[in-house]
Structure 1
Amino acid sequence: MKVRLQIDIKKFIENKDFRTLKMLLADQEPAEILEMIEELPPDEKIVVFRLLPKDKAAIVFSELEADDQRALIELFKEEKLREIFLSMDPDDRAELLEEMPANVVNQLLSYLTPEERALTLSLLNYPENSAGRLTTPKCLELYENMTVKEALEKIRKEGKDKETVQVMPVIDRTRKLVGIVELQDLIFADPENLVSQVMNPEPVFVYATDDQEQVAQIMRKYDLFVVPVVDSEQRLIGIITIDDIVDVIDEEATEDIQKMSSVITIEESYFHTSLPKLVGKRLPWLVILLLLGTVSQGIIASFEELLAALPVIAAFMPAMIDSGGNIGSQISALIIRGMALGEIKPKDWWKVMVREFVVSTIIAFILAVVLFLRSMIATPSLNVSFAVAAALVVVTIYSNLLGASLPFIGKLIHVDPAIMAGPLLTTLVDISGIAVYFYTVKWILKM
């Protein structure tokens, strides 16, 4: 097993011991090098890139944050910049160009051959966050009428420069996807057999316009590490590999967490996001939620007579609001996660509502018993304790059903369900939960 070294790159640069540093970096994985140079200033990062082989430099560069990439492009000598850019995979090139200003894009595109330029621009023409943007055309394609022997010869000849040869798409002469074949099946097959006899004739594939999150779900569902990408006529464009999908899963999870916290999506990492941008991404929702929160003031004011007659019920407001917000947040998180994994479909809304009504009713009565016993300590009145406990039952069931329904409403109006969770749900439950609490207590006590 290879031993991972902790290299003090900064010390080697200060001592100008570039030969030793180059030798040590040669044995490190790109991910480890990325971690080592993360805190280095651009002028020291550039030294590291000059010592790396071009293929490894391209991988490390493609994983840097966009602002680091821009800073290094300004410092690279043109020859080194050209070398790194040409060594990048087409999908990584497209992602880089998307983040760069127009003058840099024109400079980088000038390094490509007409064929490579057309390929890169075609990837950029696909919708953002689509399968087409993740596609690499560096796949080894086999024809259905090839013999196994011819296929293996092609693999030996061309496979080294391809993304993978473990799984290969099979096409006809019009480039239409007709199957998929694994290398091990070819190795153990009769050399005179046709590829069409060895391949799986019903391959799982995605369209270039499919959303990247949908691609991740398909690869997870079928346990794939390669999936072919086709156009509207099912002609092969390329493949998506599992390493790209891992990045997508990470991005989508980060985006959902941000939306559930009512933060407008931030693509950069925390320390690479400027302070004005952090404020701008968080402030809009906070202002909206603040204004919504003030509605509860008017609701409380409308029950002044009830509060004056029974001041003790005000003491249970925090418990009521917290319980409603907690149970609503719990179920909304479960529903959103189920939707993200494809386990819950929009058509399942009524099943979820029935199921959650039963679940919330059981939970509500258990919580009500606990609150009833607790309220007997605060007030000797059985009527008040019963009214508060009954109100908790109503608030709990109502909040749970609201939390379960909001993600479905989000889907219906084409809004990310994650937005419906977190602070937005809590604020809505706070506003409506207070009203439900007071109306329930007032009705039971007939005041």
Structure 2
Amino acid sequence: MKFAMAVDVKKLIEYGQLKFLKELLVEQEPATVLEMIKELPSEEILIVFRLLPKDTAAIVFTELETDEQLKLLSLFKEEKAKEIIENMDPDDRVELFDEMPANVVKKLLDYLSPEERKQTLTLLNFPEDSAGRIMTPYYLDVKANMTVERALEHIKKVGNTKETIYTLFAIDEDRKLSGVLELKDLIFSDSNTLIKELMNEDPIYVTVFQDREEVYQIMRDYDLLALPVTDSEKRLVGIVTIDDIVDVIEDEATEDIQKMAAVGVTESSYLHTSIWKLVKSRVFWLITLLVLESAVGFIIDGYSEVLQKITILAAFIPTINAMGGNTGGQISAIMIRSMAIGDVESSDMKKIFYKEMIIGIILGSILTVIMALRAFVSTQNIMIILSLSASLLIVILTSNLLGAFLPFFAKKIKIDPAVISGPLISTLMDLISMSVYFSVSTILLKNYL
């Protein structure tokens, strides 16, 4: 592999060393090939694809960015395009089609056999983030009344065309899921033993319409390498494998990070996303935050008389603002992550309230002492120091509680909790912090006004 990575594919193509390049490519894993061609222009990538074994070519093509895939498809001869599309896994093929214009998808569907076309269209008809969209129909099933001997013969006959052979799915005469067992169960059992005697008769499964995040949580909780997917009548229609879930985790994590940064979700990687698309993904949120932050100015302006009489209060506006946003941002990030992994539910809100109330008081008390010491450097007026300290304590406590409960509120009104984190919650906390700060200051310092 190290040798392969060191080879300059571009020079081999320029010097016409295609036979040597082909021999080299045959020995490489798809991930290595992908690394070897990532800096090449499309015309030279096209040459590499002509030299790759068809199975490897399909896998490498799957891992390319959508814009690269579209460009290559326009350059491929029809026979090569057909070969790659045919050799892709159904779930990968659906993911590709999902990103492409309808006219291109229609043309690519014509490359498939009637059976593969039917499979692909079936998967495309499931909701975008459902188990049905990411499952593969290439699973290994056995009949519950089969003997171990017959089952092993069946595996030898069809196993090389399936996604995995390590987990087997037992079905009845109506193709309904009856149980699950491992290949090792067959290997270490008597040849005359029936499958139904070995299988787990209460298997974990999901239906085609369940959300892919639920699929991930189930596979994580039960340490599964493959999870059966059934229709509404418990007929086995596909499986989700661990490699599919790794892609789901990456996609969901990327999406959450983008939302928490108040950026619209983009499907492509940064370098493969156009400038205009990146601008569009950010400008709406920046305008929204600008409008909300402008409201902070109105609050400050409303207390201009207070600031004119007690000017030192202005020096602590950035500190109060920052601590409110930081506190709310911290707890919202913790809560959103806990919600995503199923660690907390709406039913836990009472426990969360008491816990975060105590945490807010402790954090606020610690920070209040530091604030008092900092304020003492600027003024020795006890009432001003008390005003600043009381404001900070209330802001910390309020921010902590709001940051904890806003994700639950967002989920209840069908908004992704990640949306209210990051810049958005910081801006909301700015509004609240300034309102609290000047309200407390006005009450405690009324004798100075």
Contact preservation (8 Å) 2:5, 2:36: no
Give the aligned partner of residue 73 of structure 2.
73
1:311-390 mapped onto 2 (5 Å cutoff): 311-390=311-390
* In 1: Cα distance, 2:17 partner to 2:129 partner: 43
Cα deviation for residue 142 of structure 1 reads 0.7
**1:2, 1:38 → 2: CA distance?**
16
With 89-98 and 324-333 compared, the bigger mean Cα shift is at 89-98
Structure 2 residue 13 is matched with structure 1 residue 19: no
Which piece of structure 1 moves more, 133-142 or 103-112? 103-112
Asked whether 1:273 is paired with 2:270, we answer no
Deviation at 1:102, TM superposition (A): 2.7
Give the superposition deviation at 1:100: 2.2
TM-score normalised over the length of structure 1:
0.98
Cα separation, 2, equivalents of 1:190 and 1:446 = 89
1:302 pairs with 2:302: yes
What SS does the corresponding residue of 2:266 show, helix, strand or coil?
Answer: coil
Q: CA deviation at 1:301?
A: 1.0
Runs of 5+ unmatched residues, structure 2? none
Query: Is the contact between residue 4 and residue 24 of structure 2 (CA under 8 Å) also seen in structure 1?
Result: no
Matches within 5 A, 1:172-187: 172-187=172-187
Deviation track 1:39-92 (CA, whole Å, cap 9, x = no partner) reads 221111101100100000000001111111100001001111111111111111
Partners of 1:4 and 1:36 in 2: how far apart? 8
Distance 1:140 1:2 in 2: 36
Q: Secondary structure at the match of 1:168?
A: strand
Aligned-CA RMSD value: 1.3
CA distance in 2, matches of 1:189, 1:36: 45
Note the C-alpha offset of 1:141: 0.5
Q: State the Cα distance separating 1:5 from its structure 2 match.
A: 3.5
1:40-439 superposed matches below 5 A: 40-439=40-439
Q: Secondary structure at the match of 1:267?
A: coil
The aligned residue for residue 39 of structure 1 is 39
Contact 2:148-2:191 at 8 Å conserved across structures? yes
Partner Cα separation in structure 2 for residue 290 and residue 247 of structure 1:
35
- Count matched residues: 447
Q: Check the 8 A contact 1:170/1:177 in 2, yes or no.
A: yes
Q: For the Cα contact (< 8 Å) 2:5–2:32, is it kept in 1?
A: no
Deviations 1:370-420 (A, max 9, x none): 110111001111221111011100000011111111100111100000001
CA distance in 2, matches of 1:411, 1:222: 26
Deviation at 1:306, TM superposition (A): 1.2
Counterparts of 1:99 and 1:323 in 2: how far apart (Å)? 42
Greater displacement, 106-115 / 299-308: 106-115
Q: Distance in 2 between matches of 1:301 and 1:318?
A: 15
C-alpha contact (below 8 Å) 1:25/1:52 kept by paired residues: yes
Code of the residue aligned with 2:406 in structure 1: it is L
In 1: Cα distance, 2:2 partner to 2:157 partner:
30
The AA in structure 1 aligned to 2:104 is V
Residue 209 of structure 1: SS of its match in structure 2? coil
* Native 8 Å contact 1:331 1:400 kept in 2: yes
Amino acid of the structure 2 residue aligned with 1:188: F
Extract unaligned runs of 5+ from structure 1: none
CA contact (8 A) 1:346 1:411 kept: no
Deviations, residues 297-345 of structure 1 (Å, cap 9, x unaligned):
1100111121111110111111111111111111000000001101111
CA distance in 1 between partners of 2:221 and 2:438 (Å):
47
SS at match of 1:112: coil
How far does residue 446 in structure 1 lie from its aligned partner after superposition? 3.0
Change (3 A) 1:130 1:242: same
TM-score by structure 2 length?
Answer: 0.97
Distance 2:102 2:295 in 1: 47
Quote how far apart the aligned CAs of 1:2 are: 8.5
Distance in 1, Cα, partners of 2:173 & 2:385: 79
Mapped partners of 1:345, 1:231: distance in 2: 28
Aligned to 2:224, the other structure's residue is in SS state coil
Q: Per-residue deviation at 1:445?
A: 2.2
Separation in 1 of the partners of 2:428 and 2:392?
A: 17
Identity over the aligned pairs, expressed in percent? 51
* In 2, Cα distance between equivalents of 1:144 and 1:16: 57
Structure 2 CA distance for aligned equivalents of residues 301 and 2 of structure 1: 65
Q: Alignment partner of 1:57: what SS?
A: helix
Distance 2:323 2:96 in 1: 47
Q: What is the CA-CA distance between 1:3 and the residue it aligns to? A: 7.0
Query: Which deviations, in whole Å up to 9, do the C-alpha atoms of 1:359-378 show, x marking residues without a partner?
Result: 01000000000110111001
In structure 2, C-alpha distance between the alignment counterparts of 1:71 and 1:203, rounded to whole Å: 44
Question: Displacement of 1:7 after TM fit?
Answer: 2.6
Shift in Å, 1:206: 1.1
Q: What one-letter code is carried by the residue in structure 1 that aligns with 2:232?
A: S
Q: For residues 173-203 of structure 1, what are the alpha-carbon distances to aligned partners after superposition, in whole Å with 9 as ceiling and x for unaligned? A: 1111111010001111111111011011111
